[in-house]
Structure 1
Amino acid sequence: MYLTQGLHRRVQQTPDHVATIFRSRRRTYREFSERVSRLAGALQQLGMNPGDRVSMLSLNSDRYLEYAMSVWWGGGVLNPVNTRWSVPEIVYSLDDCDTGILIVDDHFLAMAEPIRATAKRAPILIHAGDGAPPAGMLGFEALLADASPVPDAMRGGEDLASIMYTGGTTGKPKGVMQSHLNLWSSSISRLAQFPLDEATITLHAAPLFHTAAMAKAVGVFVIGGTHTMVPTFDPAEVLETLERERVNDIMLVPTMLQAILACPDFARRDVSSLKRINYGASPINGAVLDAALAAMPNVEFSHAYGLTEASPVVSVNPPANHGPVGRASGLYRSAGRPGFGVFVKVVDPNGDEVPRNTIGEIIVRGPNIMQGYWNKPEETRQALRNGWLHTGDGAYMDDAGYLFIVDRIKDMIVTGGENVYSAEVENALAQHPAVHSCAVIGVPHERWGEAVHAVVVLRPGLQAGEDELRTHCRALIASYKCPKSVEFRTELPLSAAGKILKRDLRTRYWQDQPRQVS
């Protein structure tokens, strides 16, 4: 249950096997391990003690995986930074868990100084680029060259491995505490159902700061496969990399798959090496699945449902349900069945299990379930009750144990694979001087699944347009959280207790939909 064990195993058995490929740069497991042990030593010299948090603000690269493994090797804890966040959001996450070291790549250099200037504890900044580091920053490669390798700290089991920040129901992100056991067991559970081996060549197209992508990387390290990556999702570069590196395994959000199929390069690229596509964040559109199966008939599709708090996988829908039989039966729309070692129930508000095919809340327990939210005991108590994680997802389980998600009990929107908590957007909108009150809901969107929609009541005598409110929000929160549409009303529907009735706001958008989520 050590996240570094797969690295030791591969160096012992096949050290010249390729570990990472990033564009023209290739490194074997022997080379990768040497760099990891040196970077771990450098981080320790900079003050990283056991359990200390280290962050990275970067697009995908081989250095991102070196960061993750070296922090674990040196005894630290990952705090990956969401690259879509604004400076205030990033600073909040660094301050919240007292992060002392921040690695920044070339793409985000402009944010480095504002982060350092506004953080409560100014982090040590490391430049992860090929050129000379800017003034006031240390160089990633120079630190590696000057450092001595250190032995693996061998932290594992219940030791904290990462703090992954996710949206908060109260308007502030929550730091999900994942242990080595949480991440390791989630990977082992998936591998037990869908075995992979060292011949696996995985392409990381989703951002590695995201829990699903990082968990995928953990699994590839466990089996000693090869990691390829693109800096950010670009359909043309994904296709070029698939062809060049003969990739056989990839994880995508359905919107990514749709973009790949629509890319002009798709018809001329050889993607015959691809054997497995795992997708998540939302169910797949039937038309998109049909097009993908027609274009790539030898590819196996599987769907994973999960959440950061479950590190992340709860259930998996296997390839068998993505063919003609699964399409005809509707099983392709399922979130699958619980994985090995994962217990799932669908319960009523009292926590009692409901009969099959009855809607309730999904609750989960197992070795993959988080330790809690960093420094948030009340929110931890609400989420973890009697040993069960309450997901906030409304669903039913059929007679064969398949989960079908139909609603969200928690006030969350999933747009393009990203979670957006309504309270975060509402808090940002409420800071505009013209906004009297507001409510944020998710509405159906053909491409993104759901779109962020705001219903706003303006203060008497004041005016603000849709574009003005969006611009205001972008200064406070990530752009993907900002309202894609704004509806102005003279009042919001309220309950007798004065609570905004969001279900009434949602009805006009979802009344003709078979599910209340996309």
Structure 2
Amino acid sequence: MPPTEAPAPLVSRLPDGQPLTRIADIIRSRAAASDSVAMRTPSASTTFRQIDELSSRIAQRLVASGVRPGDRVACVSRNSPEFLAVLYGAAKAGAIATAVNIGLAADEVTWIIDDADPRVVFVGPEEQHLESAVRASTATPLVVSTAVDALLEWVGDAPAVDPRADGDGDQTALILYSSGTTGHPKGVMLTGHNMAQALAAVQNLLELDDASVAMAPIPFFHISGLGLALVATLVGAELLAFTPSTPAELHTTLREQEVTHAVVVPTVIQRLLELPEAAPGSLPRLRYVIYGAAPITPDLLNAAIATLECRFVQSYGLTESSGGVTILDHSDHKRGVNEPHLLRSAGRALASVDLRIVDQLTGRDADPDQPGEIWINGAHRMAGYWRNPAATEEAFADGWLRTGDVGRLDAEGYLFIVDRLKDMIISGGENVYPAEVERVLLTHPEIVECAVVGTPDARWGESPLAVVVTTPTAALTEAELIAWSRERLAHFKAPTQVRFVEALPRNASGKVLKRALRTDPTPRKDQ
């Protein structure tokens, strides 16, 4: 077994040159260095010093309200300057900031507030419908609105003086809740050192600086969205909180706001390129496109490079790893034009990260190109799960973080994600990875989306069930799809049952709830 000693961390430095260890130092140091725009919304611009001053006033008011170091302060809000002020204010007060997914159902929000047990919960002006869910919690927190007037009224005459009640970088600074696709969400505890490591990787790889303008479409309650917001403050970049609703609006925003770094998904890239105005030279300031959620095809990449004339990047990571731990960088994408298999990978491990692929049967490292569980070592690893020692113990092995994801490493060290370990089907002693079956099914012209899960089978133990959404005019039958699948997959991988439904059940993060599919609560298409 490889040594458990973690690789040397990257160093993330504050504007004053000191190494970053605490989240509150990000806004302290940046505000002292400049008063440029931190965040721009369609209605207003907010500077770093304004966020710094408001966060100090919030911190003072939190302390006066009885918040002590280690207490939780939660925020149920969409992206806004006030969200960042609450985050930094909680940090200055020594509290643990807890961001709650605003897309959750009321009962789910109540459960998270119960679990986090915060002293104060800030609720956004557009999330007032969730206030009753917060108040229903047994935690009985103080509830404060982040609507600007209400927030200023609450802080009152609290001085803009930083209480500096935060501890060192080893203490938990953030709790972000996992998506809960296999049960209740778990609170992922991240320290200042965890976030410093994550931000160093982003800062170094994306060439972000104080001349950058980064679009922020990802909610701050996701690790990738929050990481982008924190690194923007760290380097002095402007964060753009715009939500274009059409490709044309997106193109206009990219051009008029002089965006340098944009986060999009491949389908949006495709629709953007279909616009007549999306011609070479139309977005001269765009330097990086960061994409995810799906691989990019060689044809689309070629067209995007020719039209957008920028660099492309994607990565792999999870909340428990403080965000991305691999990178498929611009040079990899250039290779991918002629070596398209690379575009299906998540890139190679960052310099500060060790990756292992562990065979689940032997417990030893898998051979190159053989699948196994992805294990991570390095300063990115979470501190553990909030108030859940059993889950924490299960998540670590000899100091390595077990991701629960199945992947493979090729001879060059490129990581290819195969599936979630908990989703793997064992049929007749053979491992079946649903994601592989789903990729094949999605090539059928009458299938819009699908999910594959394992169902009990008296003969094989488990067998694959395909839950399928078809096009409105499709006349596809179960027998036809099974026969079609067997022409393209090994028979043990092909579905033995097909269920046609109107839509797949998803959680607030957009992930398919496979546990729900196994219990069959979805309406069939013929019902």
**Counterpart of 1:98?**
117
Shift of the alpha carbon at 1:319?
0.6
2:237 matches 1:225? yes
**Counterpart of 1:272?**
284
Q: Per-residue CA shift, 1:247-266, capped at 9, x if unaligned?
A: 11122343444454467885
**Counterpart of 1:8?**
28
2:297 matches 1:295? no
Separation in structure 1 between the aligned mates of residue 195 and residue 109 of structure 2, nearest angstrom: 23
Q: Per-residue CA shift, 1:483-511, capped at 9, x if unaligned?
A: xxxxxxxxx533679x7x26465895977
Contact in 1 for aligned 2:278/2:307 (Cα 8 Å): no
Q: Secondary structure at the match of 2:295?
A: coil
Contact in 1 for aligned 2:53/2:161 (Cα 8 Å): no
Change (3 A) 1:44 1:250: farther
Change (3 A) 1:209 1:353: same
Shift of the alpha carbon at 1:65?
1.7
Change (3 A) 1:396 1:244: same
Q: Per-residue CA shift, 1:345-383, capped at 9, x if unaligned?
A: 111114311222222221101111011111222221111
Separation in structure 2 between the aligned mates of residue 365 and residue 380 of structure 1, nearest angstrom: 15
Q: Secondary structure at the match of 1:177?
A: strand
**Counterpart of 2:144?**
126
2:259 matches 1:247? yes
Shift of the alpha carbon at 1:48?
2.2
Q: Which of 211, 216, 237 in structure 2 is aligned with 1:199?
A: 211
Separation in structure 2 between the aligned mates of residue 40 and residue 214 of structure 1, nearest angstrom: 20
Q: Secondary structure at the match of 2:339?
A: helix
TM-score normalised by structure 2 residue count = 0.75
Residues 106-117 of structure 1: pairs in structure 2 closer than 5 A: 106-116=125-135
Contact in 2 for aligned 1:230/1:238 (Cα 8 Å): no
Aligned residue type for 1:94: I
Aligned residue type for 1:339: L
Residues 4-403 of structure 1: pairs in structure 2 closer than 5 A: 4-13=24-33, 15-116=34-135, 118-130=136-148, 139-151=150-162, 152-168=164-180, 170-230=182-242, 235=247, 237-258=249-270, 260-261=272-273, 270-297=282-309, 299-323=310-334, 325-349=336-360, 350-403=362-415
Aligned residue type for 2:147: G
Contact in 2 for aligned 1:320/1:326 (Cα 8 Å): no
Contact in 1 for aligned 2:176/2:187 (Cα 8 Å): yes
Contact in 2 for aligned 1:106/1:127 (Cα 8 Å): yes
Shift of the alpha carbon at 1:289?
2.8
Change (3 A) 1:63 1:233: farther
Separation in structure 2 between the aligned mates of residue 344 and residue 21 of structure 1, nearest angstrom: 38
Separation in structure 1 between the aligned mates of residue 92 and residue 153 of structure 2, nearest angstrom: 19
Change (3 A) 1:264 1:37: farther
Between 1:188-197 and 1:26-35, the stretch displaced more is 188-197
Q: Secondary structure at the match of 1:362?
A: strand
Q: Per-residue CA shift, 1:92-143, capped at 9, x if unaligned?
A: 1110111232222222212212431x2112222222225x6xxxxxx21223
Shift of the alpha carbon at 1:195?
3.4
Shift of the alpha carbon at 1:332?
1.9
Unaligned runs of 5+ in 2: 1-20, 425-433, 468-480, 495-510, 513-527
Aligned residue type for 1:71: A
Aligned residue type for 1:302: V
2:477 matches 1:494? no
Between 1:365-374 and 1:221-230, the stretch displaced more is 221-230
Contact in 2 for aligned 1:345/1:364 (Cα 8 Å): yes
Large movers: runs of 4+ above 6 Å: 439-442, 513-518
Contact in 1 for aligned 2:321/2:382 (Cα 8 Å): yes
Contact in 2 for aligned 1:16/1:30 (Cα 8 Å): yes
Shift of the alpha carbon at 1:310?
0.3
Q: Secondary structure at the match of 2:363?
A: coil
Separation in structure 2 between the aligned mates of residue 165 and residue 233 of structure 1, nearest angstrom: 27
Contact in 2 for aligned 1:126/1:140 (Cα 8 Å): yes
Q: Secondary structure at the match of 1:67?
A: helix
Identity percentage over the alignment? Answer: 30
Residues 402-417 of structure 1: pairs in structure 2 closer than 5 A: 402-411=414-423
Change (3 A) 1:115 1:28: closer
How large is the RMSD of aligned CA atoms in angstroms? Answer: 3.5
Shift of the alpha carbon at 1:336?
0.5
Unaligned runs of 5+ in 1: 133-138, 413-438, 457-491
Separation in structure 2 between the aligned mates of residue 366 and residue 286 of structure 1, nearest angstrom: 32
Shift of the alpha carbon at 1:246?
1.2
Separation in structure 1 between the aligned mates of residue 272 and residue 186 of structure 2, nearest angstrom: 33
Between 1:24-33 and 1:85-94, the stretch displaced more is 24-33
Contact in 1 for aligned 2:302/2:337 (Cα 8 Å): no
Aligned residue type for 2:407: A
Contact in 1 for aligned 2:55/2:88 (Cα 8 Å): yes
